[in-house]
Amino acid sequence: MPLESGSLPTAGGLPSGAISYHFAIIDAPDVVAANNFISLFNPAASGKNYVFLEAHIGTYAVSNTTNASSMAMYRVSAASGGTLATAIARYDTSKIVSTAEIRTGNPTVTRTTGVPAMPITPAVATGAGGNASTTLQVTPGTNYLLRPGEGRVFGTASGDTNQRWNIDLIWAEY
């Protein structure tokens, strides 16, 4: 049974007509200072809800790392600056273009709380390098619903320039 527009999906699946999208950044170099790598934001005027389905985060070090910091996902109420993505992948290319605002390159965000929703431990290398990865899989209907004017950001509090991050986001809009 399809859900009414604006209803929260249940653990049984997505509303009828939901369209899935994908965006990734690959080999993004870390910086020494705090950095927001990527934000996913649902514009207030979108008229849609987003369900954050999955995130794959991988990290590796190209050489010795001395100040690695965990990646964390936070809720945000605003996102600006950085580089606004102009192309977002659709799983079904016959469907409409996403209304999402994806920003990379240290976007400016307003966090709703200081509580991370998901920490990701980086690879820490003491020699030639190392790697680590994690996957966040969420059940639709949990706290990963993004209503208009809401978003998520993935960032680190500090880092090491020898660190690299791969971040792959999957969400649905309805």
The residue extents of the domains of the chain are 20-131+140-165
CA distance 123 to 131: 5
Residue whose token pair is 């090491």: 160
The yes-or-no verdict on residue 127 having pLDDT over 80 is: no
What's the pLDDT at 1?
A: 30
Is residue 27 within 8 Å of residue 135, measured between CB atoms? no
CA distance 139 to 9: 9
What's the pLDDT at 125?
A: 58
CA distance 90 to 96: 8
33 is written with which tokens?
């200072």
Chain-centroid distance of CA 11 in Å reads 21
pLDDT in tens, 17-56: 899 999 999 999 888 889 999 999 999 999 999 988 888 8
CA distance 61 to 130: 5
What's the pLDDT at 58?
A: 81
Query: In this predicted model, which residue has the larger pLDDT, 20 or 118?
Result: 20
pLDDT in tens, 73-115: 889 999 999 999 999 999 899 999 999 999 999 999 999 987 7
CA distance 67 to 145: 33
